[in-house]
């Protein structure tokens, strides 16, 4: 990955939303919600006030409107502050 986040920022790749429900019903694209789960690709070094708790390859949950969307080499990615991440799963 050529993108290196600065300070307390984290680069993540959203995990695709489920295509089917548990009972097997296929969900159309228009009814899917924005995914709130992502895989961490890269992290910054942190700041003197904030230690980085997440690391590459962690699976995280983030807020619905968190981060800035960007497209890099055909992939849709998000870059956000570590404070926008709600949990590591």
- CATH assignment at residue 73: 2.30.33.40
pLDDT tens profile 55-79: 999 999 998 889 999 999 999 999 9
Whether 25 is covered by a domain: the verdict is: no
Residue pLDDT, tens place only, 34-58: 668 999 999 999 999 999 999 999 9
**Dist. CA 80–CA 83, nearest whole Å:** 8
Domain contains 24: no
- Is residue 72 exposed (0-12), middle (13-18) or buried (19+ Cβ within 10 Å)? middle
Q: Is the separation of the CB atoms in 35 and 60 below 8 Å?
A: no
**What are 76's strand-pairing partners?**
71
| Residue 72 lies in domain | 9-16+32-88
Q: Is 78 helix (H, G, I), strand (E, B) or coil?
A: strand
Place of tokens 């300070």: 7
Question: What whole-number distance in Å separates Cα of residue 9 and Cα of residue 18?
Answer: 27
Quote the number of domains for the chain.
Answer: 1
Q: Is residue 22 part of a domain?
A: no
Give the C-alpha separation, 81 to 68, whole Å. 10
**Residue 49 within a domain:** yes
């Amino acid at each position: 990955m050529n993108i290196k986040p600065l300070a307390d920022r984290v680069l993540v790749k959203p995990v695709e939303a489920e295509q089917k429900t548990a009972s097997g019903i296929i969900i159309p694209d228009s009814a899917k919600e924005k995914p709130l789960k992502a895989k961490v690709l890269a992290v910054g070094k942190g700041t003197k006030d904030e230690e980085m708790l997440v690391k590459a390859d962690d699976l995280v949950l983030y807020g619905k409107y968190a981060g800035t969307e960007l497209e890099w080499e055909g992939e849709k990615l998000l870059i956000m502050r570590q404070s926008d991440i709600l949990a590591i799963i």
